[in-house]
Amino acid sequence: MRLIPSLATVLSRVFLFSLCILLLPSTYANQSNQHEQIKKSLGQKIILDFRFYCDDGTSSKACKKPVTTLPNALKDLLITHNIGGVILFSENIKTNKQLIALNYAMQQAMAKAKLPPLFIAVDQEGGRVARLPSSMLTPFPGNLAIGASYYQHGTAFSENVAKGIGSSLSSLGINTNFAPSVDINSEPKNPVINVRSFGETPSDVAVLGQSFVDGLQSSGVISAIKHFPGHGDTQTDSHTGLPNVKHSKAQALKGDLLPFSRIISGGNPPGMLMSAHIQYPSLDSTTVKDKQGREMTIPATLSRKILHDVLRNELGYQGVVVTDALDMAGIAKYFSPEDAMIKAYQAGADIALMPFTIRTPQDINMFAALMGKVSKRISSGEVPSTQLATSVQRIALLKAKFSLNRYAEKALSWRVSDVQNNVKKTRNIQIEKALSRAAITSLYGAEKLPVTQKTWLALMPDALRCLALEKSLTSIAPTLGMACLPLTKLPNKATFEYALKQADLLIVGDISPQHAVYEMKGFDNEEAMASRAPLDDVHRFTKSALQQAKKQGLTTVLVPLRMPYIAKEMQPHTDIAIATFSYNVDSEIYSPIFDALIETILGLNRPNDYVPVQWSGASE
């Protein structure tokens, strides 16, 4: 009996066929038409950010007007250049209704122009990388907290957090999530990965990464694992510089590459994979000249040996490769936008992420000129036509597989109503609370819990963490007393010594590496912010404070809120050390991780004893 495909299947096939016809360069067209066809194909190979836009004469650098609705100029840009996708940032996101309307407007514009739907992407990893406000999507504690829960709970939290994120993003019109990070955090001083990693054991990272991919993609959201071939063993942030990884290829295969390899070969490979702006000489030691004419080892994002020979041929990845943002210093410091795009495409990247910053009408004109130059270089053969055709077909297949065209098929009012009526947020909050409790880990001194002291003094990294700790204590144990001193600006000696004399318990919270100013959310006063203490000074002060507290007979508790490595140095001066692997506090000064911490200190939550990184083998 002949099987008749469903209407949805037929429509999907028609969409895919039309998309491929639209995108693939014709070998029979004349040179002029072929050049125009290449320009259309090139647009699909770009994801832009529309973080800010000013049409009032403000300069590009000074423009800080968030794009929360779609200006006609940006709408026209999307259509004119057949842009493949847009990445959203926190500035673009205010409310459910506003975000849905923005995403709907962009997809409607492409549909009415009979152009392919957009990848609408975001970095929503969970933890410290979360673009949506907590009022819209629970941030969750993050990957290292999930890693800490692994040996007691397996992949339950990884999959359920990903499903919670994915289902929420999908209903808001976001179809692509640049997550998870499957980097191995093997460098204690890594400034950019740390808690974004599931841990330092490659096989565990692979398992948790795969379940995260499964959770996202089962919710209809494309997952992009990152940062290939592995950003974990670096002391440089590729946002500000170009890291160099010294591993041998044998080490890479057993370490950095292993999670990528296993996830790619799993039953549900990620639709996308993001490259890293790092040098990895054992994988490619080729040298190129930067824009100043200086020789340098080629970054992975621009390396054909890494993105094609290793990724495609050795690991067998068939999905879409997207670069990390090309405006980051790891690339932009060394290459012009034009050269970065060409070299990335030559290397095998399918999509250039944020290759050019658009903030003003003048930028739109400059972008058009850039597109002309890049398409001309492609037409001249700098990117082989067969490679271009394969790449745009790969993009078309992914858009069809996840039915990106369907979002604009239902009315905007239905989309808004669907979000307002869903119960995802309640379930996500429950998962966040459960993960917060499961992630709390005793580094040492668990036998001294619970504490019975009634008057506490806390030293916290900033005013927001002081307020969150105080709120959690008041909610859980209102009869206990606590004073908290923020360490944004170090307290003077008299203030600290007076507070210490009133207490019988000292708690020291630590965020290492030091967190960003924006994560303080403006709760510290301007004077403290202007003279913020360097992390080394904070550590000297807290070490002295712990020593003084011990001399006075106080019980001392160290709480590494981010990475736990400082615990080794402080161990001689502390009775108890409890790691949280998260320091999230929302704008309402609510933090389930601080609730879980207080519950653990008071014996209401049993701490985990598995640490996903070897804290005792390194010190700050």
Concerning whether 324 is annotated as a catalytic residue, the answer is: yes
Decide: 585 and 568 in contact? Cβ < 8 Å.
no
Q: What is the spatial distance between Cα 394 and Cα 264, in angstroms, rounded to a whole number?
A: 16
Distance CA 351, CA 447 (A): 53
Owner of token pair 């290449």:
38
Residue 71 DSSP class? -
Distance of alpha carbon 267 from alpha carbon 262, whole angstroms: 10
Q: How many residues does the chain have?
A: 620
Helix (H) or strand (E) holding 599: helix 592-601
Torsion of CA 163, 169, 172, 173, to 10 degrees: -110
Judge whether 539 and 459 are in contact, CB under 8 Å. Answer: no
What value, to the nearest 5°, has the Cα angle with vertex 37 and ends 32 and 40?
135
Q: How far apart are alpha carbons 419 and 135 in whole angstroms?
A: 13
* Marked catalytic residue, from 49, 183, 324, 462: 324
Residue 485 φ/ψ, nearest 5 degrees: -110, 120
DSSP assignment, residue 496? H
- At 306, the amino acid letter reads I
DSSP labels, 3-49: PPPPHHHHHHHHHHHHHHHHHSPPTTS-HHHHHHHHHHHHHHTEEEE
Which residues are tagged catalytic?
324
